[in-house]
Each structure stands twice: as structure tokens, then as C-alpha cells.
Amino acid sequence: MQEFKLYLETRGSVHSQNTEFLAYYALPYVNKPNEHPIYRQLFEETWRNSVVLRLSKYIDSVIQPNSGKIPHLLNLVTKPNVKQDRLMRQLTVCLNKFIFIVQNELSDAEKRATQSQKRLTRLQMDYQTLISVTADILDALESTLKGKSLDSSVMQNIYSRLVHSQNNVSLRVNHQNSQFNKTSNNTFGCETKEIPFGEEKPETNGNKPNPPVGLYWNENTSARLFELNYEKIKEDIKIMNDRKKCYLLQALRWRLTKSKVSQREHCLTSFVRNDILDLTTIGSIKDVDIKHAPLLYCLKSKHHRVREYMARFINALASLCRGRAYLSQNSLVVEILIDEVRKEQDECITRENFVGALQKMSLRYNKTFCFHVV
């Protein structure tokens, strides 16, 4: 009765003009409506049955089983719509790509915000140190102008604080530049020294071979990274010989592993936005060919050195959170890596990098999916 009263107060004005329903507006205010001569019939079973019968007759008149006219809503639910399903699949794919891009941008923004906060904290600490040192210098200068003798220990203390502050800044910069190189060059206990193209891996008899001249990036250089023409890279690698393919893959990998932190983030973002491995365009194993995915096709190269350099590049991508997210957006990458691991019979650098990449990418997949792929 309270619900009926609330209905009359909120939406009852629609039927207030009809004289047939005016008597029911007083029903919620009657103390014993089941004993009232006007409302008594509403509480009898015969009245309820008559209402149900009239409602069923009305429904049967609207929806007749023998009539050829079927409600449009029923058709939408029961009959398949091929065109609509195709549009929904396309919309789902577009939404997934958009969500992936937004997640990547959000991850980049969070990382930049964290780095900026750390820089701000360090700047505030350096600022406080500088203010303190400046105040001590002014005090010493004022004492000197007044004719007081200046103790040599005061200047020595100021000088040591300045040197200590500068050393801390240098250590922070060097730590940032070397942190990623340590994790990407030696992953899962495997040695990843560069070997010149065309030469086999030398035997180790307790003495490490001297590194080849010209194959190591100068870690002290801070050259500016220019934007690459990824379309030209994808076209040129189709016609390159195996030696130049190795050089290109090594340059792409060094662009990640030998750059500063800020440059590395920019480089990885550029890789993902330009879809360097064409992961968004391939849908099956058959699409992984020299035409549709030229860089990813290097994993299937006949030359073992090209496969090795491509495995290093994939492993470097998997070492970064955004790189794992990029590789994981297409499950074919995992299938190809597992297939290549099975093909590599002997323990070699190529196989170790494949296994390392799979171990890192397993952080992005649940156990059920990985078991299904295997």
C-alpha cells in the first residue's frame, strides 16, 4: 500500500484526469480498505483472477502464435545478424587497440610523474644544501669584512660539503645510465657478449677473448637520438643481405640498451607507436612472412646469426614493462618463440635469449593461457 501511495504521489497525475481511476486515489488513506464497501472487492480472489484473465487475453491478442508477424525485439534476440556481428567485432578490435594505447600512455605518464617527483626531491635537497652553504659563505665574508680572522677549517668544511653534493649528483646519473645495461646484457645467467658476424663463438679455455674493436657502444657518449623512418626500415630489411640485417637488429637493440633513461622511454614509445614488429596487422602464423612482418620474420631466417640478433632484440624488448605489453598483445609471438626454442636443439645464445624472453613475457599471461599455448 505504501508503494501504491508513492506511485500516486510521484506519477499519479497522469491518470488523475480519468474519472474511472479517481476513486482509487483515496485508497491509501482508508484505514481498513478490505472492509470498505467500495474497495472490498479488490481484496477478493475473484477480482484478481479476472484481472489476470483480461491481461492474458490482451497479451494473446498482441502476440498471436499463428500470425506471421514477429516482434522486432524477438528477431534481434533470436536471429543472427551477420553484418551486426562483424561490426561488433570490428568495434571490439578498435576499442582494444584504443585501450592498449591509452594504457601505454598512462604507464608513460605515471613513469614520467615518478621520475619528475624524484628529480624534484633531489633538487629540493640540493637547493637546501646550496642555501646552507651560501649562508655560511656570507657569514664568513661578513666576519672577514669586520676584521675578524677566518679559520681555515670553516672554508674546508664548506668546500667538502660542495664536493660531497656534486659527487652525489654524479653517482645518481651514473646509476641511472648503468642500471638497465646490467639487467639487459646479463639476463637469466647467460653471457651476451657480441660476436662479429661471420665468426663462430670462440672456445673459452679459462681466458676471456678480447672484445672486438668497434662493436661496443661508447657508454660515455650522450648522442642525441634522431627519429627513425620505420617504413623505410621495414622495406629495406626485405632486400638486405644477412650481414646488414644483423647490423640493423643490433642498432635497434642498442637504441634501447645503450641509451639514457629518458631517451630509452622515448625510443620504446616510438617502437610501439610505429608497430615495429607489425603485431597489430598479423592474425595467424601464415601472415608472418617477409611481406607482412619483415622484422618478425627474421626469427625464421635460415641464417643462425640473424636469428640470434633477432632473439637478442626480442629479449631486450621483453626486459621492459612496456615492451612486454607490446609483445603480449598478439599471442602469436609466444607461439613463434616456443616453436623456435623447440627447433634449437643445442644450448646456444639464440635459445637462451628465446627462453629469457618467454620467461619475462610469462609475467603478462596467466598459467591457463601459457599451458594452452604449450
C-alpha cell at 65: 502464435
User: Backbone phi, then psi, for 266, in 5-degree steps?
Assistant: -65, -40
SS3 category, 208: coil
Q: What are the helix (H) ranges across the chain?
A: 2-11, 45-62, 72-78, 82-145, 152-185, 230-236, 242-257, 261-273, 304-318, 321-328, 332-343, 349-361, 367-373
Do 307 and 301 form a contact (C-beta atoms < 8 A)? yes
Task: Work out the burial of residue 334: count CB atoms within 10 Å of its CB; fewer than 13 is exposed, 13-18 middle, 19 or more buried.
Answer: buried
C-alpha cell at 374: 604449450
Give the pLDDT confidence score for residue 57 in this predicted structure: 85
CA angle 155, 158, 160 (to 5 degrees): 110
Do 193 and 187 form a contact (C-beta atoms < 8 A)? no
Do 344 and 350 form a contact (C-beta atoms < 8 A)? yes
Write the DSSP string, 226-295: PPP-HHHHHHHTTT--HHHHHHHHHHHHHHHHSS-HHHHHHHHHHHHHTTTT-TTT--SGGG-STTT-TT
Domain extents in the chain? 2-75, 102-144+152-185, 230-373
Distance CA 351, CA 311 (A): 8
Give the pLDDT confidence score for residue 141 in this predicted structure: 83
pLDDT along the chain (374 residues), means of 10: 82 77 81 81 85 86 66 70 78 88 87 88 84 82 81 77 64 51 44 48 44 42 71 89 91 87 84 87 78 84 88 90 86 86 81 87 59 46
Do 272 and 326 form a contact (C-beta atoms < 8 A)? yes
Residues 6 or more apart in contact with residue 313 via CB below 8 angstroms: 249, 252, 253
Give the pLDDT confidence score for residue 217 in this predicted structure: 45
Residues 6 or more apart in contact with residue 266 via CB below 8 angstroms: 225
Distance CA 153, CA 161 (A): 12
Do 43 and 36 form a contact (C-beta atoms < 8 A)? no
C-alpha cell at 335: 607461439
Distance CA 140, CA 134 (A): 10
Buried b / exposed e along 287-306 (16+ C-beta atoms within 10 A): ebeeeebbbbbbbbbeeebb
